[in-house]
Amino acid sequence: MKPDPQTKIILDTDPGGDDAFAFLWLASLIQQDLAKLVAVTATDGNVQASLTFTNACKLLQLTGLDQVEVGRGVLNPDQAMANAAMIHGHDGLGNLAHTLPVPHQNYQTARFSDEILIETLTNYPGDITIVALGPLNNLAAAEIKSPGILQAAKEIVLMGGAFRVPGNVTPEAEFNIAYNPEAAALVFNQCQNLVILPLDVTRSLIFTPEMANDISQNAPDQPITQFIQSLCQSMSKASLAHRETQGIQGFLVHDAVTLAYLFYPETLQFYRARTDVETVGQFTRGRTLADFRHQTKLPANAWVAATVDPVNLLACLIEDLKCLGTFS
């Protein structure tokens, strides 16, 4: 069964190499009339807010979606946590941002992301799916300014956390949560409509240069396929150096898993559980917890992905990215 073609998405993102792959996957699904992109709310995260804004604009331009408004990220008040430029490049896109089209939207004059979230959720209550691919700074800021607003989202589908596996920035914590644990805790506490895709399922999603070649085969000269290949190479090099992929040449397309949930749900299995974020632990700050055994009897607030079929999921990604090449 095809998903509702009217699925209205706000993409909250910090591009980011794997954000870019999620972005391109979504662009393909939009071109296939399976979803509508209402706005992009860039967020401070992998690199600073001004760069994630520009990168989001460039990706929209690349995919012909440049009429979509991009918000500028609310800054994270806690600057204790380093960003992830060592993986994603100093520009956030594997040092390839300069190869992408020049955007026409301007960071200085752009609306803030929380303002766009509040306005859109107010105008379309129950109708908007938020796909959150970065630290939850913008979502928390919107909730603080307009209490209850996040419950107006149909679903908040977020990549973040590590429940039964180690973290990727500390032994316990995953980047998107650890970057701003207070924001994540606020979102987790205020919402019952969360779908969480943690490292537990993304660690096996290794996208390889062979996959990039396969996508490029039919349209090797297209700017999009060239970008896919170059970004894959750059991300693979950094990921290998940081021992992210068990020695396999490739990189983890963490953020793409959110779209698998929305458009290929048969590739994932979930638990319904009460989830929380540790904000005070000396060693565990940013850790995510789930009461999988329902012992606390607190109301559940999330579906948490527990298992994934990586071969099937990556095959779906590859097929859709091939379509994107033929559209451009």
The entry of Ca ion, ligand BDR, none that residue 317 binds, CB within 5 to 8 Å by partner kind: none
Cα separation, 242 vs 238, whole angstroms: 6
Contact present, 260 and 267 (Cβ < 8 Å): yes
**In terms of DSSP bridges, do strands 268-273 and 128-132 run parallel, antiparallel, or are they unpaired?**
unpaired
Residue 88 φ/ψ, nearest 5 degrees: -95, 0
The entry of Ca ion, ligand BDR, none that residue 43 binds, CB within 5 to 8 Å by partner kind: none
By CB under 6 A, is residue 176 in contact with ligand BDR?
yes
The entry of Ca ion, ligand BDR, none that residue 92 binds, CB within 5 to 8 Å by partner kind: none
Say what angle helices 223-241 and 310-327 make with each other, to 10 degrees: 150
By CB under 5 A, is residue 19 in contact with Ca ion?
yes
By CB under 6 A, is residue 254 in contact with ligand BDR?
yes
Among all chains, which residue has been given the structure tokens 């956390």? 161
By CB under 6 A, is residue 28 in contact with ligand BDR?
no
The entry of ligand BDR, Ca ion, none that residue 168 binds, CB within 5 to 8 Å by partner kind: ligand BDR
Q: Tell which residue, 118, 45, 110, has the closest CA to residue 72.
A: 110
Interactions with Ca ion, residue window 98-137 (CB under 5 A): 133-134
SS3 157: strand
Cα separation, 204 vs 21, whole angstroms: 16
**In terms of DSSP bridges, do strands 206-207 and 251-252 run parallel, antiparallel, or are they unpaired?**
antiparallel
Contact region with ligand BDR (CB under 6 A), list: 11-19, 35-43, 219-227, 229-237: 11-19
Pattern of binders to ligand BDR over 146-175, x per CB under 6 A?
-------------x--------x-----xx
By CB under 6 A, is residue 244 in contact with ligand BDR?
no
Closer to Ca ion by CB, 14 or 172: give it: 14
Interactions with ligand BDR, residue window 38-97 (CB under 6 A): 46, 84
Cα separation, 86 vs 127, whole angstroms: 37
Q: Which of 16, 286, 310, 325 binds ligand BDR (CB under 6 A)?
A: 16
Question: Which residue type is seen at 194?
Answer: L
Residues that bind ligand BDR (CB under 6 A): 16, 18-19, 46, 84, 133-134, 159, 168, 174-176, 254-255
